[in-house]
Chain A
Amino acid sequence: QVQLQESGPGLVKPSETLSLTCTVSGGSVGSGDYYWSWIRQPPGRGLEWIGYIYYSGSTNFDPSLKSRVSMSVDTSKNQFSLKLNSVTAADTALYFCARSPSATDLRFDYWGQGTLVTVSS
């Protein structure tokens, strides 16, 4: 059974960088069979796709966040990570990591439980 688990600081100061890691178990980040995404959900609001990374390091980001986002993958630890810089209160959200079996549709078949990140001084 595939499981994804987000981890990282729950509180980030404005203008600083948000950093999160997703650890995958029951499957391999480096297998090349899947694309690995980050998705967020501001409190009381809907889902927002942030972007994905492939095992090779290839990425694709939502245009609205592209200038502030980076992602990386560590196949030796079976993890992938998100960095979002210059954060503001608008970046306060529940952050999910998720798996897609294909880059041609990017449906999300497995999700982490989510981790709440609050941006506040």
Chain B
Amino acid sequence: QSALTQPASVSGSPGQSITISCTGTSSDIGGFNSVSWYQQHPGKAPKLIIYDVSDRPSGISNRFSGSKSGNTASLTISGLQAEDEADYYCSSFTPTRTRVFGTGTKVTVL
């Protein structure tokens, strides 16, 4: 199972919106509505911010939103804040009931 493809880095100014893409195949992202997104600050454990493509866990800001089209999922961060600077990983369920992660995207707030 190959890793899902994400851009290595995305940047934006405070207050702007940015979108991170996550590209897979019809066997993972395209085949299931089980895409999740994680935020990881340096030295910390990842934190679930989106699940089931577009649902947010309790306590997660509505500035984070998710979507999917075909074999590509996307995470949008609106109203970018300094605290959003982190690494972001997508993840998808697979036909063999396993999980595959994306390559990761470093978000920089300019």
Please count how many residues in chain A sit with their CB below 8 Å of the partner chain's CB atoms.
Answer: 24
Instruction: Tell whether, in the assembled complex, residue A109 and residue B48 are in contact, meaning their CB atoms are under 8 Å apart.
Output: yes
A107-B34 contact, Cβ under 8 Å, with A48-B101, A49-B101, A114-B45: yes
Stretch of B9-17, B69-77, B91-99 with 4 or more beta carbons under 8 angstroms from chain A:
B91-99
Let me know if A107 and B36 touch, CB within 8 A.
Answer: yes
Chain B residues closer than 8 Å to A62, beta-carbon distance = 1, 98
Q: How far is the CB of A7 from chain B (nearest CB, A)?
A: 15
Q: B3 at the A/B interface (Cβ < 8 Å)?
A: yes
The interface bits of chain A over 86-118 (1 if a CB of B lies within 8 angstroms of the residue's CB, else 0) are 000000000010000001111111011110000
Query: Which residues of chain A are near B84, meaning CB under 8 Å?
Result: none
**Shortest Cβ distance from residue B25 to the other chain A in the assembled complex, whole angstroms:** 15
**Shortest CB–CB separation between residue B71 and chain A, in angstroms?**
17
Let me know if B101 and A46 touch, CB within 8 A: yes
Contacts of B57 in A (CB 8 A): 109
Q: Interface size (B, Cβ < 8 Å)?
A: 26
Q: Does B103 touch A at the CB level, under 8 Å?
A: yes
- Distance of A17 Cα from B97 Cα, bound (Å): 26
Residues of A near B44 (CB, < 8 A) are 113
Task: Give the CA-CA distance A64 to B45 in the complex, in Å.
Answer: 23
Please indicate the chain B residues that have their CB under 8 angstroms from the CB of A45 in the complex: 104
Residue A47, interface by CB 8 Å: yes
A120 close to chain B: CB less than 8 A: no
Determine whether B109 belongs to the interface, using a CB cutoff of 8 Å to chain A.
no
B36 to chain A, nearest CB (A): 4
A112 to B34, CA, bound (A): 22
Chain A 4-63 residues near chain B, CB threshold 8 A? 37, 45-49, 51, 60-63
- Some 15 contacts from A to B, beta carbons below 8 A apart, are A37-B99, A47-B89, A49-B99, A49-B100, A63-B98, A64-B1, A105-B32, A106-B34, A107-B34, A107-B51, A107-B52, A107-B91, A109-B51, A111-B45, A113-B45
Given A51-B98, A104-B34, A111-B45, output 13 extra A-B contacts at Cβ < 8 Å.
A37-B99, A46-B103, A48-B101, A49-B100, A63-B96, A96-B45, A96-B46, A104-B93, A105-B36, A105-B93, A106-B98, A113-B45, A114-B45
